[in-house]
């Protein structure tokens, strides 16, 4: 480790011990030296013994700074890994930090743009409109049109901090399989790798700009979701310029109700937006916490969401989407056998899993839940209970589903906050059934033909030539086969003749030998000579 990494590691250890987080070290023989060393070398006492473990973990992550706060936020979605008392506390982590100096923000914007800020913008406000762990936002106007905009600028010192902390996380992840019996199944290095990718993606605002443009195009003209316009000509890797929006924070329930917002429709549209992004577009906003979601002031009776901060997006391949949709529908229909079979078919659990035992375990967990009224059932919690059940059958963590699980929990929590009687099942089931029918029915065949039409239009003029070439190749192949057949037949004839000559030669040699032994002096030499000649001719025919 470098001196800087050692200092950072020392700070992390000190913070963790001051909050008594050594309780997280499993008490087993393998960890005995580590626990003994903590008592012997690190004498720092737990200064927050009056607080529960989950709260202490949250406070420690907050003290360690933005990188660890975001890591805690991501881990808060992994309820298959943490008990509720820890996961609930991690969800309280707020991604709000003190803004850095506005003059420094201006300097970095000008450095990225390559000139004075007034060349492109008017009315730049050095007071940050909002500040987060990765970047902060300032308001201004476009010089050419007067359009109100926001400029998002990356924190100038965040890159080295992220890289140093991620390296330490990798080292800690390497210890997990050695310290925890179930550690390898948790795939800690893959979790850190996914987190690292997410952070590095957020550091490149050109990527966020592209994500926002794609999401805006997907919902162009939709009454459900509006994504602000991105002014890509002004965007740089560390600066994002986009339309300024005005809306009601989705968490401000009082204001939404005061203006007469249709809360039931708003909650249902949140579910519809999620499933549309996942299954129709294969491209979903994966950071839909309340700080990134607003509601338009216009048309409260027909409310429309406004989504910002598209730095984190997710996607699923066709196989994952199909398995996921079939799992959802099987849950809706309480078809636990189907759920078990889908987990095996998808490879989420080992192929040799006993399907009957797995089905029974799922039924045991889910049936008591489904006895409640639908509005009281948390779909997110049903999935988490399923994952916890699947752990007993050696289900490995699926990194490609992490963002999806997180987003689903956000959507359900938000929907229930807006409209406590939200029936997520009734809202989602028709959508999923329609999507499945569209994937396997006649519309799927027609769509596939349309998708392949340009390819076949390009290849159609070549078909006669390809057909002629195939006939020629078939003719040449037939000629080669006939030639080979004739050669094999000739070879068999020669082999038969050779065997005949070998037999004649052997007979003559034996006869000559017998006559010679009988002291007949005239014929033996001629017979033996003829036998040798027959052998030579037979041998030549074989070669």
Q: Output the known binding site for ATP.
A: 129-137, 152
CA atoms of 349 and 351, how far apart (whole Å) = 7
CB-based burial label for 331 (10 Å; 0-12, 13-18, 19+): buried
Binding site, annotated residues: 129-137, 152
CA atoms of 276 and 393, how far apart (whole Å) = 32
Residue 98: CA count within 13 A, CB half-sphere = 4
19 backbone dihedrals φ, ψ, rounded to 5° = -100, 10
Residues whose CB falls within 8 Å of the CB of residue 178, separated by 6 or more in sequence, listed in order: 30
How far are the Cα atoms of 160, 224, 293, 295 from residue 303, in angstroms, in the given order? 42, 7, 13, 7
287 is catalytic: yes
CA atoms of 201 and 311, how far apart (whole Å) = 7
48 backbone dihedrals φ, ψ, rounded to 5° = -135, 45
Give yes or no for a contact between 324 and 284, defined as CB atoms under 8 angstroms apart: no
- Give long-range contacts, CB 8 A cutoff, 24+ apart: 200-205: 200/162, 201/311, 201/312, 202/134, 202/135, 202/311, 202/312, 203/134, 203/154, 203/158, 203/159, 203/162, 204/237, 205/135, 205/152, 205/154, 205/235, 205/236, 205/237, 205/238, 205/239, 205/240, 205/311
CA atoms of 12 and 9, how far apart (whole Å) = 5
- Which residue in 80, 95, 165, 287 is the catalytic one? 287
Active site residues: 287
């Amino acid at each position: 480790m470098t001196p800087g990494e050692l200092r950072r590691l020392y700070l992390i250890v000190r913070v963790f011990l001051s909050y008594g987080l050594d309780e997280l070290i499993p008490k087993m023989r393998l960890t005995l030296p580590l626990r003994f060393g903590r008592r012997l070398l690190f004498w720092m006492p737990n200064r927050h013994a009056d607080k529960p473990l989950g709260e202490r973990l949250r406070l420690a992550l907050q003290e360690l700074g933005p990188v660890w706060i975001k890591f805690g936020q991501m881990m808060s979605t992994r309820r298959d890994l943490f008990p509720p008392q820890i996961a609930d506390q991690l969800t309280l982590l707020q991604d709000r930090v003190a803004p850095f100096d506005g003059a420094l923000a201006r300097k970095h914007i000008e450095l990225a743009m390559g000139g004075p800020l007034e060349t492109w913008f008017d009315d730049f406000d050095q007071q940050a409109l909002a500040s987060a762990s990765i970047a902060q936002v300032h308001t201004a106007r476009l010089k050419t049109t007067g359009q109100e905009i926001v400029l998002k600028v990356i924190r100038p010192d965040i890159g080295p901090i992220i890289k140093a902390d991620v390296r330490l996380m990798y080292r800690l992840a390497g210890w997990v399989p050695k310290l925890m019996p179930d550690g390898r199944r948790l795939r800690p290095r893959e979790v850190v790798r996914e987190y690292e990718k997410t952070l590095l993606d957020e550091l490149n605002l050109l990527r966020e700009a592209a994500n926002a443009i794609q999401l805006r195009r997907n919902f162009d003209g939709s009454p459900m979701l509006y994504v602000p316009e991105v002014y890509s000509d002004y965007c740089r890797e560390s600066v994002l310029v986009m339309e300024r929006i005005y809306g009601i924070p989705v968490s401000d329930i009082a204001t939404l109700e005061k203006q007469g917002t249709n809360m039931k429709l708003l909650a249902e549209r949140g579910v519809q937006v999620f499933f549309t992004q996942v299954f129709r577009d294969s491209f979903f906003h994966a950071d839909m916490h309340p700080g990134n979601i607003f509601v338009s002031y216009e048309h409260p009776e027909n409310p429309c969401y406004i989504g910002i901060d598209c730095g984190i997006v997710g996607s699923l391949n066709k196989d994952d989407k199909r398995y996921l949709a079939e799992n959802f529908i099987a849950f809706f229909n309480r078809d636990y056998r189907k759920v078990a079979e889908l987990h095996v078919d998808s490879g989420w659990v080992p192929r040799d899993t006993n399907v009957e035992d797995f089905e029974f375990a799922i039924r045991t967990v889910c049936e008591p839940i489904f006895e409640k009224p639908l509005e009281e059932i948390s779909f997110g919690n049903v999935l988490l209970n399923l994952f916890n059940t699947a752990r007993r059958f050696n289900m490995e963590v699926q990194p490609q589903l992490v963002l999806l699980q997180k987003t689903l929990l956000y959507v359900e929590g938000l929907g229930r906050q807006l409209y406590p009687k939200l029936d997520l099942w009734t809202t989602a089931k028709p959508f999923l059934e329609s999507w499945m029918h569209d994937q396997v029915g006649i519309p799927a065949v027609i769509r596939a033909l349309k998708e392949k039409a340009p390819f076949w239009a390009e290849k159609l003029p070549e078909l006669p030539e390809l057909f002629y070439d195939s006939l020629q190749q078939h003719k040449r192949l037939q000629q080669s086969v006939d030639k080979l057949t004739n050669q094999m037949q000739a070879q068999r004839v020669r082999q038969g003749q050779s065997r005949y000559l070998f037999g004649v030669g052997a007979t003559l040699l034996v006869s000559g030998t017998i006559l010679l032994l009988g002291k007949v002096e005239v014929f033996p030499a001629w017979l033996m000579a003829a036998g040798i000649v027959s052998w030579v001719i037979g041998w030549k025919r074989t070669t």
